[in-house]
Amino acid sequence: MTPEQILDSLQPIFRRLFEQPNLQVTRDSSALNVLGWDSLMHITLIGEVEEQFNVRFGLGELEELTCVGDMVDLIARKPRS
Amino acid sequence: MLSIAAATTEDIPFIIRGIVASDTVPHGDGSTVYERVYGFTRAELEGFLEFALKANLPGNQLTLSEFVVLKEEGAPIGCCVGWIEGVTATPSGKAIAMLVSRFLGHRRVIDRTPQVRGLISCHPGRTAGALQLESFFVHPSARRQGHTYRLINHCLDNKSDGVGWSEIVLLSDNRPARKAYERAGFTLVPGINPNCADFQNYTGSDGFCRLRRSIPNHLSINQARTI
């Protein structure tokens, strides 16, 4: 998948979890500018993304994940498990 | 002879004992906030703490390399943790949530959503860039000898890294600990009124308070202290 395809695939996950049907995340979206993105939502999001993309993030990778763009790049680098 | 030094992996069992003791809900059944919020059994909690300490993610209350251990003749008698809350790095609360999620699996954490939400809405927060102190523990046989102050002063002297403030977030009903910190120069941060109704319901604790004190940068705390 290309980074653009990954970002497109993330949109419905974000809209469902954040319960915002019109939410449009970009590479710059983060806990700083998306309402409701707290620590619990973060781990919910990570779990959903791991299941949806069939990948597993390491603790060190999660530590460096600060925005949607980081998430897209991380998924793109991951071999599917 | 007393010594204070950065923790190593051989100190982990003592540190786990310290974290469990300092996280225990006052006036309760001996269980900790971790157990009541996340649903850990005691064995799971001890396994989680070992996992988190060994993971050593930077800048949170379970970072092994941020712990200091007070020893007497080489045997551990006290410990605490001190870290600079992240400005650009991951906030400590998020780091702990990630560690719990990795250990228990995110489904189990999601099953505890009401309890975790109760904790989040009750926590007074931490000031990014301030030195955070937590998990003070002195072995019962070594108490009332000023060791908590030794640990505080060691952290203020050695871990402040030029920042101007130190903070301690603790359960507000832990009055003995709060009195000890106030004697060490910490004062209550006023005006923080989080919603603790759910937290009280799930844990039996009144909630948290945040104490802070300035860290003079023109002279050492050992010179400036009045305690």
Show the 3-state SS of B139-161: CHHHCCCCHHHHHHHHHHHHCCC
* Distance in Å, alpha carbon of A40 to nearest chain B alpha carbon: 7
A-chain CB neighbours of B58 within 8 Å are 63
**CA–CA distance from B57 to each of B44, B52, B106, B154 (Å)?**
19, 8, 18, 22
State the pTM of this model.
0.90
Partner B contacted by A43 (CB < 8 A): yes
Q: Is the CB of residue B48 less than 8 Å from the CB of residue B162?
A: no
What are the DSSP E strand ranges found in chain A?
A: none
Task: Find, in chain A, the residue whose alpha carbon is nearest to that of B96.
Answer: A39
Is B117's CB within 8 Å of A62's CB? Answer: no
Task: Give the pLDDT score at B226.
Answer: 39
Instruction: Classify residue A32 by its DSSP letter.
Output: T
Q: Which residues in chain A touch residue B94, judged by CB atoms under 8 angstroms apart?
A: 31, 39, 42
Please state at what angle helix B92-104 crosses helix A39-53, rounded to 10 degrees. Answer: 40
Per CB-CB distance under 8 Å, the chain A contacts of B55 are 59
Q: What is the pLDDT of residues B53-107, one digit of tens each?
A: 999 999 999 999 999 999 999 999 999 999 999 875 678 988 999 999 999 998 9
Q: Which residue has the tokens 């009055």?
A: B175
pLDDT in tens, A28-61: 999 989 999 988 999 999 999 999 999 999 998 9
Summarize pLDDT for A15-36 with one digit per residue, the tens.
Answer: 999 999 999 999 999 998 999 9
Minimal Cβ distance to A63: which of B90, B106, B116: B90
The pLDDT confidence band at residue B193, using thresholds 50, 70 and 90, is confident
Q: Residue B80 is inside which H or E element, if any?
A: strand B75-84
Residue of A nearest to B92 (CA): A39
Segment B28-37 shows an average pLDDT of 96
Q: Do A66 and B120 touch (CB under 8 A)?
A: no
- Facing residue for B55 by CB, picked from A39, A46, A59: A59
